[in-house]
Structure 1
């Protein structure tokens, strides 16, 4: 396990994108995790790179992590973050819920 990274706690959209790319690499680094991710998303190795260039897809990567607590905790530990930091980045990228007051 890596030491916590204090300089990566930013929750801005750009930081969220960077975190989502890191999360995608984390998922892809393990064959079992990657197979499940591809099965859930309907993607394949042939179109994963193209999808990763879409900011909406990157939000879905963090959504995927948020939906699986064990995966979220494993990613947070691997990346030296707290799960709450990952969730704040997800919320920043996702934006307010539809119909929310500004």
Structure 2
């Protein structure tokens, strides 16, 4: 399953799904907005910025209970979230070299 999220397109799709997961949770969304400093009305604009999708996955990965709940609710193996992060811009230091 980690291979499925190794491409940028699949990684972006996973991150967009994670953003939907966050946005649909009344406890996670305020925490995400507070940590990122993004206002709710500015999420669409922020999503166009390089690194935003990587930040969404970093948010999911930073809290194990959130990661496990996301994994369970979406049928995504937890390791696939980390693999997707590494496939995105600013997901790691070697992204530029790998494209």
- Give the TM-score, by structure 2 length: 0.83
| Counterpart position of 1:19 | 14
* Higher RCO (CA < 8 A, seq sep 6+): 1
Q: How many residues align?
A: 93
* Structure 1 residue 95 displacement after superposition: 3.7
| Structure index of larger Rg | 1
Spell out, residue by residue over 1:62-98, the C-alpha distance to the aligned partner (whole angstroms, 9 max, x if none): 1111111111111111111110111111122214459
Q: Displaced runs of 4+ in structure 1, greater than 6 A?
A: none
1:60 matches 2:55: yes
- Give the TM-score, by structure 1 length: 0.80
Contact 1:20 1:62 in 2 (8 A): yes
Structure 1: runs of 5+ lacking an equivalent? 1-5
RMSD: 2.1
More divergent stretch after superposition (82-91 vs 47-56): 47-56
Separation in 2, partners of 1:65, 1:48: 16
